[in-house]
Amino acid sequence: MSAGTRALSLPTRLISAFSGTVGLVIKIVLLSLVNAFAIWAAVVLSDHHKWRALGLLAFVTAAIDAIYLTRRWTLPLKFLIPGTIFLLAFQVIPVAYTINVAFTNYSTGHILSRSEAIANIEQNSLTEAGNGASYAMTLMRSDKHQLVLALLDNSGHAFIGTPDGLRPIPRDQVTIAGGTIASAQGYTPLKGTELGSIDTELSSYKVPVGGGKAIEPQGFDSAVVLEPTYRFDARKDAFVRVKDGVLFKDNGRGSFVAANGAEIEPGWKTYVGMRNFGRIIHSPLIRSPFLKVFLWTMVFATSVVFLSFALGLLLAITLNKPGLSFQRTYRALLIIPYAVPAFLALLVWQGLLNDDFGVVNRAFHTSIPWLFDPNWARVSVILVSVWLTVPYFFLVSLGALQSIPSELIEAAEVDGGGAWQVFRKITLPLLLVAVAPLMIASFAFNFNNFNNIYLLTGGGPALNNSPVAGATDILISYTYKIAFAAGKGQDYGLASAIAILIFITVGTISAISFSRTKALENLA
Amino acid sequence: MKVGRRPAVLLAVVLAVALSLVGSRSAPAAHASTKAAKLTIWVDNVQKPAVDKITSSWGTRRGVDVNVVFHSFGTIRDDLKTVKAENAPDVIVAAHDWTGDLAANGLVLSLFPTKALKKQFPKYALDAFSYGGRLYGAPYALENVGLVVNTRLVKVPKTFAQFEKEALAFKRKSPDNIALAVPQGSGGDAYHMYPFFSGLGGFVFGHAKNGALQPNKLGLASKTFLNNASLIDKWNREGLINSKIDYGTAKNAWLKQQAAFWITGPWEVDALKASGNPFRIIQLPKIKYQSVPFLGVQGAMVTKFAQAHGVESLAKDLVASEMMKAGFQLDLEQANLRYPANKLAGKRVNDPILRQFGAAGAGGVPMPNIPQMGSVWAELGGAWVKATKGTGATSARVAFTTAAKNILDKIAGG
C-alpha cells in the first residue's frame, strides 16, 4: 500500500521540489529559453510582415510567462500547458496540414506559387533563336560607368551591346585575344573578382535585337540570342504561344492549358476542392483493387495481432512458471527480435526466404516459393511480422500475468477449477483488461505497417489482373504506389486524401474496439 | 528568496537572459549580410573533394564565397522541393533522370553553353539532361552496366550464342553454380535487365521530332520485341536467367566463382579488384539488336534559387562553362571513378576498368528522364520477374503485354 501513497504524493513532491532554489533556477533557464525563442521568432516574423502571427506569438509568450511566474492560482495550467503545446505541435498541426493538402493539387508540376510559375515559364521558355547564334562576351564599363557587353561573333565581327541595342564597332578600335575582345576603345574591361559583384545587374541584362529577340549573357564569357516561345498576356491572364498565337488559359486547377489540352509546365499549387476524393471514387486504377487490398489489410493486421498475442502469451505463461532454470536467459533470448532494428531484420528475412538461394529452403530441402507465389508471399509477410511482434506481446503479457493477484488463482483452484478453466475464466479476462487496448494499438500500427511490406516483398509479387496492387500490398503501401510511383511522379494531394480515408477507417475500428473493451473492465 | 519570488523581478531576469541569448546568436549573422556574393552547392560525399577543388580556385578568381555543402545524393531531389529559400542551394549535383521532374516543377533553370563546348559531349549525354527540347544540366560523368567475365572460368564470348553456351556449360558443372549473375529478386530490376530488353528490340519511350520523349509511345509491347520475346521463355527454361537471384546473391556468386558472368557497373570496382578474379568487362553480345545498357548520366544543375540569391550569372558560369571543361571532368573521374562525359576528357582516361565500362556503354540509351518513368520501373521489372521465375513462369509475351497496358493505365490515371 505504500506504493499508492507514494504515487499520490508525487505531484505534491514535484511542486515542492520546484519551489526551492534549484527549481527557481531551472524555471528561469527554461522560461528564458522560451522567451529567447519567442524573440527570435518575432524578429523573423516581422521580417516577413506576418503581423497576425506575431500578435499570437506575443500573446502566447506573455501568457506562458504569466502562468509560470505568478503564484498558486495558475497551478493547474502549469501542468496543462506543456501537454497542450506538444499536442498542438505534434498532432493537431500535422493532421490539419494533411487535411489542407488533401484539398490541393500539390504534386509534381504543382509546387510553385502562381506568380513563381509565371516567372518560371517566361524564363525557361526562352529558346536559342534561329541557328543558335552565340557570341564570345567580355564585360566592360563605359566612361559613364555603364555596364556594356563587348561581343565577338563567330565570324570575327565585334559589337558593343547595351540595353538600347547592338552597335558594331570597327576592328581597329578593339584588340582580340584568345577568341574574345580583350580591350575596346572607351571601355574598361571588368576583371576577376569584380565579376562576382555585378550578378544582379547582369542576370537581367538584355540586348534587344528586334523581333522580340534579345542577346542575353550566359555566365561571364558568352552570350546567346534568345527568343521567348510563350508571352504572358496580363490583360487576358493567359499565355500566348508566340509562334501561332495559341492561347493557354488558366484551367482553374493550377495549369495554363490550350484548347487542345496541351499544358505548359510548370503549373502552380492551388485548391481543387473535392477533386482528389473524386479521383479515388472514379479512377478505375484506384477503385478496382481497393476492396481487395482493404480486405487483405484487415486479414494481415488481424492475424498478426492475434497470432503474436497467442504466441507471446503462451511463452509468457511458460516462462512465468516459478522455479524454471535459465528463466532470465530464455527471456533475454526472446526479446532479441524486438532489439534488432526492424528494417535490418526484414532485409535479412528477405535473404533467408529467397526461393532458390535462401537458407530456409536449403536447410529444409524444400522448394517453397516464399516470395514469388502470391499466397506464400502473404504467409511470409504474416510470419515475419509475427516474429517481429511476438516479443512485444511476450513482455506485455508477462507484466500483466505478474500483476494478477495469486490469491485469485489459488481461490479458483481451491474451488476445484481445472487449469484450463482457471485460465479461461480468471487469468485471460483479467489479462485482457490490461492487454486489449495494446492489441488495438498494435492493430492500428500493423494496419499501416509500411516497412514490413515494403522491405520484405515490396508489395509483390505482381498480380496478373491488377495494375498497381501486388499480392501483399496493404492500403498504405498501395497508396504509396499510386501517389508516388504512377502518373507524373509524386502526388501529395491524392496521397493526403487517401491518408484521411485510412485515418477514418482505423479510427472507426479502434473506437468500436475500445468501446468493447469497456465491457471487459466492467467484467473485471 | 523573498525578492526572487516577486513575479516582476522574475520576469526581468528571464527577459534579460533571453535577450542575451538572442543577442549572442544574431551578432555574427548581421555581419554576414554585408559580405561578397555567396554561392551554395549541394554535393554528395563522393564528389565533394573534386568539387571543392575546382570551386575554390574558381571562387577566388570570380570573387565569390563558395559554400560546398555535403548533401546525401538520394535526398537532393526531394529536399530541393521543400527547402526554404534562405537555405536553398544555387547549384546541385544531379542524376539525369531527375531532369523532367525538376524542370516540370520549375525548380531548375535552362542552360545555354557555347556550341564549341557542346561539341565536346556525345549527343546522348546532353539529351539526357534535356526536357522538352531544353538543356537543364551540365553532364560530367557516365555510368552503365557491363558484362563482367571471369576469364579464368570461361572464354570471353564474341557472340550471344557463345555466351549462352559458356554460361550454361558452367552452370552444369556444379549444382551451386549460376549461369548468369544478373540481379532481379522479387521486386525486379529493369535497370540491370535492360541489355536483354534492348537486345530483343525493346525500348521504353519513343521520341518526338524535337527529341523529347513521349510518355504515350511505349515500346514495351512493340511488335518487334514481342516477336523476339519467345527467346526469354527459352532462357527461362534452360536457366540462363533466373529472377530469384537478387543483388546480394548475384554479387556473392561471382565473387565466390559460382558464376562466371555478372552484370554490374562501376560502383562495384572495389569489389571487382578485391576479388582477385581475373576479369574483363564487355558489352553483352548482340542478341537480335545491339544489347545496349541504360546510361546514367551525372551532372550539375542551376536551381531557381540562384536568381533570388543574386548569383544566377555566377552559377551559370560555374555549371555551363567551368564544370563542362575537360579538366574538371578528369578531376571528377579520379574522385568518383565514373567515365567522364566530356569526350576530350574521355580520351585521357587511363584506368583500364573504367575504359572497359566506358566501351561497354557504347550506343547506350539514357534512362528516360521524364516523370512518367516512375510508372515504368516496377512494371518492367515485374514483367521480367514473372517471365523468368523458373517453373510456373508467365510467358514473356503475356507478361510484357500486361506490363505495357498497366503502365499506360498508370500514366493516364495515377
- What is the per-residue pLDDT across A165-196, written as a single tens digit (0 to 9) for each? 889 998 888 888 888 898 888 899 988 778 87
| B356 part of a folded domain | yes
CA–CA distance, B381 with B28 (Å, rounded to integer): 53
What whole-number distance in Å separates Cα of residue B326 and Cα of residue B332? 10
Contact B374, A484 (CB under 8 A): yes
Domain boundary among B342, B360, B378: B360
Q: Do B25 and A286 touch (CB under 8 A)?
A: no
- For residues A11-32, give the mean pLDDT: 76
CB contact under 8 A, B371 and A109: yes
| H-type alpha helices, B147-286 | 160-173, 190-199, 223-228, 230-238, 247-255, 269-275
pLDDT in tens, B111-127: 999 888 999 999 899 99
Contacts of B316 in chain A (CB under 8 A): 218-219
Helices B230-238, B396-413: crossing angle, 10 deg rounding: 120
Do residue A96 and residue A134 come from a single domain? no
Say how far apart CA A481 and CA A345 lie, in whole Å: 23
| C-alpha radius of gyration, chain A, whole number | 35
| Same domain, residue pair B119 and B161 | no
| B172 within 8 A of B240, measured Cβ to Cβ | no
- Is the model's pLDDT at B128 over the cut of 80? yes
CB-CB under 8 Å, A284 with B112: no
In sequence order, the β-bridge partners of residue B131 are B134
Question: Are residues A87 and A130 both part of a single domain?
Answer: no
Q: Which residues of B touch A126 (CB under 8 A)?
A: 110
- Report the pLDDT averaged over residues A478-506: 87
Q: Indicate the pLDDT class of residue A522, thresholds 50, 70 and 90.
A: low
Percent composition of chain A: helix, strand, coil (DSSP 3-state, to 5): 60, 15, 25
Query: Per the domain annotation, does B6 fall within a domain?
Result: no
- Domain boundary among the residues A87, A102, A117 is at A102
What is the pLDDT, as a whole number, of residue A1? Answer: 39
Q: Which of B22, B101, B377 sits opposite A40 (nearest CB)?
A: B22
**Is ipTM beyond 0.85?**
no
Question: How far, in Å, CA of B49 to CA of B55, rounded?
Answer: 10
Q: Are residues B115 and B212 in the same domain?
A: no
Residue B272 sits in the same domain as residue B194: yes
Q: Residue A24 CB: number of other CB atoms within 10 A? A: 16
Choose among B113, B134, B244: nearest Cβ to A354: B244
Range of the domain at A155: 126-228
CA distances from A103 to A277, A303, A469 (A): 9, 35, 25
Give me the pLDDT at residue B47, please.
Answer: 84
B235 with B381, same domain: the answer is yes
Same domain, A326 and A367: yes
- Measured between beta carbons, which residues in chain A are less than 8 angstroms from residue B18? 31-36, 38-39
Q: Pick from B337, B360, B383: which residue ends a domain?
A: B360
User: Is B105 within 8 Å of A192 when comparing Cβ atoms?
Assistant: no
Q: DSSP string covering A437-450, please?
A: HHHHHHHHHHHT-H
**Total domain count, chain B:** 2
Q: Do A33 and B21 touch (CB under 8 A)?
A: yes
A179: domain CATH number?
2.40.430
Q: How close does chain A come to B219, measured CA to CA in Å?
A: 17
Nearest to B317 among A65, A219, A481 (CB): A219
Contact between A123 and B17 using a beta-carbon 8 Å cutoff: no
Residue type, A126: L
Q: Quote the distance between the C-alpha of residue A125 and its chain's center.
A: 32
For residues A284 and A306, what is the distance between their CA atoms, to the nearest angstrom? Answer: 34
B366: helix, coil or strand? Answer: strand
C-beta atoms of B186 and A351 within 8 A: no
Is residue A128 within 8 Å of residue A226, measured between CB atoms? yes
In angstroms, the separation between the Cα of residue A359 and the nearest Cα of chain B is 12
Residue B345 has pLDDT above 80, yes or no: yes
- When pLDDT is averaged across residues B145-170 and rounded to a whole number, the result is 96
CA distance A264 to chain B (A): 9
Residue A233 confidence (pLDDT): 92
Indicate whether A438 and A311 sit together in one domain. yes
For residue A267, pLDDT beyond 50:
yes
DSSP letters for A324-384? -TTHHHHHHHHTHHHHS-HHHHHHHHHHHT-TTT-HHHHHHT----TTTSHHHHHHHHHHH
Mean pLDDT computed over every residue of chain B: 89
Q: Are residues B312 and B355 in the same domain?
A: yes
- From chain A, pick out residues whose CB is under 8 angstroms from the CB of B187: 457-458, 460
Mutation for testing the A interface, residue in B14, B82, B324 having most A CBs under 10 Å: B14
Query: For residue A118, is it within any domain?
Result: no
Same domain for A134 and A93: no
Which residues span the domain enclosing B261? Answer: 146-292+370-413
Q: Are residues B82 and B71 in the same domain?
A: yes
Shared domain for B188 and B254, answered yes or no, is yes
Contact (CB<8Å) A203/B310: yes
How close A33 gets to chain B, by Cα (Å)?
A: 6
Residue among A217, A464, A489 minimizing CB distance to B371: A489
CB contact under 8 A, A28 and B307: no
Nearest chain A residue to B19 by CA: give it: A36
In A, minimum Cα distance to B304 occurs at A120
* Interface contact flag, A487 B410, Cβ < 8 Å: yes
Rounded to two decimals, the pTM is: 0.84
Do B59 and B134 sit in the same domain of this protein?
Answer: yes
Distance from CA of B127 to the nearest CA of A (A): 15
Whether residue A420 is contained in a domain is answered as yes
Q: Which residues of A touch B132 (CB under 8 A)?
A: 265
As to burial, measured by CB atoms within 10 angstroms (0-12 exposed, 13-18 middle, 19+ buried), residue B158 is exposed
User: Do B277 and B375 share a structural domain?
Assistant: yes
Does residue B285 sit in the same domain as residue B308?
no
User: Are A412 and A481 part of one and the same domain?
Assistant: yes
Q: Which of A193, A285, A372 sits opposite B413 (nearest CB)?
A: A285
Buried b (16+ CB within 10 A) or exposed e, A423-443: beebbeebbbbbbbbbbbebb
The domain total for chain A is 3
**Quick one: B116 and B263 in the same domain?**
no
| Cα–Cα distance measured from residue B280 to residue B158, given in angstroms and rounded to the nearest whole number | 13
Instruction: Say if B26 falls within a structural domain.
Output: no
pLDDT of B26 strictly over 90: no
**A136 half-sphere exposure, CB direction, 13 A CA radius:** 16
Task: Give the CATH number for residue B70.
Answer: 3.40.190.10
CA dihedral (A271, A275, A276, A277) positive or negative: positive
Is A430 in the same domain as A493?
Answer: yes
Q: Nine-digit cell at A268?
A: 502552380
- Which of A299-308, B281-290, B342-351 shows the lowest mean pLDDT across its residues? B342-351
Do residues B146 and B282 make contact, with C-beta atoms less than 8 angstroms apart? yes
Confidence of residue B2 (pLDDT cuts 50, 70, 90): very low
Does residue A359 contact residue A277 with C-beta atoms inside 8 Å?
A: no
Name the helix (H) or strand (E) containing A30: helix A21-47
Of B319, B339, B360, which one is at a domain's C-terminal end?
A: B360
Contacting residues of B for A356, CB less than 8 Å apart: 242, 244-245, 390
Residue B212: predicted pLDDT: 84
Query: Based on the domain organization, do B340 and B266 belong to the same domain?
Result: no
Residue A464 has pLDDT above 70, yes or no: no
B104/A356 Cβ within 8 A: no
